[in-house]
Amino acid sequence: MTVQNAQIKEMIRQRWNRRADTFDRSPGHGIHTAREKDAWIGLLKGVLGDKRLEILDVGTGTGVVALLLAELGHRVTGVDIAEQMVQKAREKAKKLNLAVEFRVGDAEVLPFKNNSFDVVINRHVVWSLPDPEKAMAEWKRVLRPGGKLIIIDSNWGKTAPLYKKVWRFFAQLLIFLTERRNPWAGRGHRQMEKYLPMRLKKRPEADIEILRSLGFRVEVMKVDIPRWDTFLGYLKYGYFRGEEFLLMATNCPH
């Protein structure tokens, strides 16, 4: 690891440690309605099927996806670079009486043996990686032959549509006025963007290129998880609609 990458990872770790207490409150991070939870469960069931699987959730955060997967009966391990996020995930698992193993770890250097999992999944993680090629190669290493790598993310870097960027700007003003919280509080990470390749590329095309170079067979689909229940909610969060995607990459045996 270069000195630069180590410094960026430390900034990322500190940022998400600071967000641990409030992470679940943000739409798109936590799950806030039964409708939203049902949509996530439907999506996960659709791509994973009914068989009980050994799943690794990389960049698990407070365990939102990992805990849903455990509810569906899968054997789940969650890994995150931010220890405060991992602690929150453990607390939630205990409260829900779900047997999920949460560990502190680096998405690019996983503490697992080769061929350990049927599925590796992550949500809103790839954009934050200083070396996404290395990370995806590592995820492939821990996957069993025929296993699935699932990436859920969005096109919210430099290539996002202009009208969506304008909508987002005014939506943040509306959030500030109606929710009495600062939607710009996390903007300190903007200084890191030049070190995060996926913030500068069009997605999911950039992801697909990397995955195919690693020998994966890739399928892509749109994700439309509702973040609002009212028209006001749509004005505040509807800008995100249409930008989220799911990649399902199969680890083809040689």
Q: Which fold has domain 3-251?
A: Rossmann fold (3.40.50)
List the beta bridge partners of residue 246: 152, 221
Q: What is the pLDDT of residue 242?
A: 60
Q: Determine the Cα–Cα distance for residues 127 and 111; give it in Å rounded to an integer.
A: 22
Is residue 217 within 8 A of residue 250, CB to CB? The reply is yes
Alpha helical stretches, state H, 79-187? 83-96, 132-142, 162-179
pLDDT digits (tens, 9 = 90+) for 140-150: 999 999 999 99
> What band does 52 get if pLDDT is binned at 50, 70 and 90?
very high
For 13-40, the DSSP string reads HHHHHHHTTTGGGSBTTB--SHHHHHHH
pTM of the model: 0.88
Give just the sign of the alpha carbon dihedral 93, 135, 140, 38. positive
Between 91 and 29, residue with greater pLDDT: 91
Q: Determine the Cα–Cα distance for residues 198 and 169; give it in Å rounded to an integer.
A: 21
Q: Could you give the C-alpha distances from 112 to 146, 170, 182, in angstroms and in order? A: 18, 44, 39
The residue written with tokens 């959730």 in the block is 57
> What band does 120 get if pLDDT is binned at 50, 70 and 90?
very high
Q: Determine the Cα–Cα distance for residues 221 and 94; give it in Å rounded to an integer.
A: 33
Structure tokens at 233: 């909610």
Is residue 104 within 8 A of residue 83, CB to CB? The reply is yes
Instruction: Tell me which residue of 58, 54, 76 sits closest to 67, measured CA to CA.
Output: 76
Q: What is the largest CA-CA distance in the chain?
A: 56
Question: Residues in the chain, how many?
Answer: 254
Q: Determine the Cα–Cα distance for residues 196 and 185; give it in Å rounded to an integer.
A: 20
Residue boundaries of the structural domains of the chain:
3-251
Q: Is the pLDDT of residue 188 over 60?
A: no
Q: What is the pLDDT of residue 186?
A: 55
pLDDT digits (tens, 9 = 90+) for 57-115: 999 999 999 999 999 999 999 999 999 999 999 999 999 999 999 999 999 999 999 99
Q: What is the pLDDT of residue 1?
A: 55
- Cα torsion 182, 190, 106, 114 to 10°: value is 120
152 Cβ contact partners less than 8 Å away, ≥ 6 residues apart: 65, 121, 122, 123, 124, 223, 244, 245, 246, 247
> What band does 177 get if pLDDT is binned at 50, 70 and 90?
confident
